[in-house]
A and B are shown apart, each in its own frame.
Chain A
């Protein structure tokens, strides 16, 4: 989940 959140930016 943490990792996924980090990749929400472009």
Chain B
């Protein structure tokens, strides 16, 4: 594991901690998309099925369990928590997730390495992760004056993807025969989706203003 991959994972971990902190400290999930969180839970559950039959390292196992549990925890807060659930604005969070999940499943059934249940589900999770942030970005666009922690959460999530790009470049240069086209192409699309957000995030940060995305 190289430094970019590790930094990427830590940024991913931090983004989730920031999100949980925001929800727990403010007892509010304003500006957080339940749809995106549910998509992430689906991504993690379909990707980490290998927890049941393959072991890579204690690090990997811990991170996989953390990602599954933490997204489950965020969903629980938004849906079930007495005070937090009242701050969820379902009227704004209207993205049709089936429009994302169905094409990803069709693509996973068509373009994959191996036509087995676990491999197709793994491929599905790679495709779905690439677009799972879209409901969150749409919600941010509808929210005037995004609160700082929610903005930081999305920024860290995007940062994690950018670090994974560097990780792949490093691996291409140092590991002979290393290639994974499905992951590279999906990951590049996933990172590109954040470009617009990055632009406005950095602009608002430099001008010392609250973040608000133009609609």
Contacts and interface: CB of A to CB of B under 8 A. Distances in A.
A5 B176 CA distance: 13
A5 to B, nearest CB: 8
B210 interface: no
A10 B113 contact: no
A8 B114 contact: no
Interface string B85-123: 000000000000000000000000000011000010010
B5 A9 contact: yes
A8 B61 CA distance: 11
Given A7-B56, A8-B60, A9-B5, 6 more contacts: A7-B54, A8-B56, A9-B167, A10-B60, A10-B63, A10-B67
Contacts of B167: 9
A10 B180 contact: no
B14 to A, nearest CB: 14
Contact of A10 (B64, B119, B122): B64
Contacts of B180: 6
A6 B9 contact: no
B38 interface: no
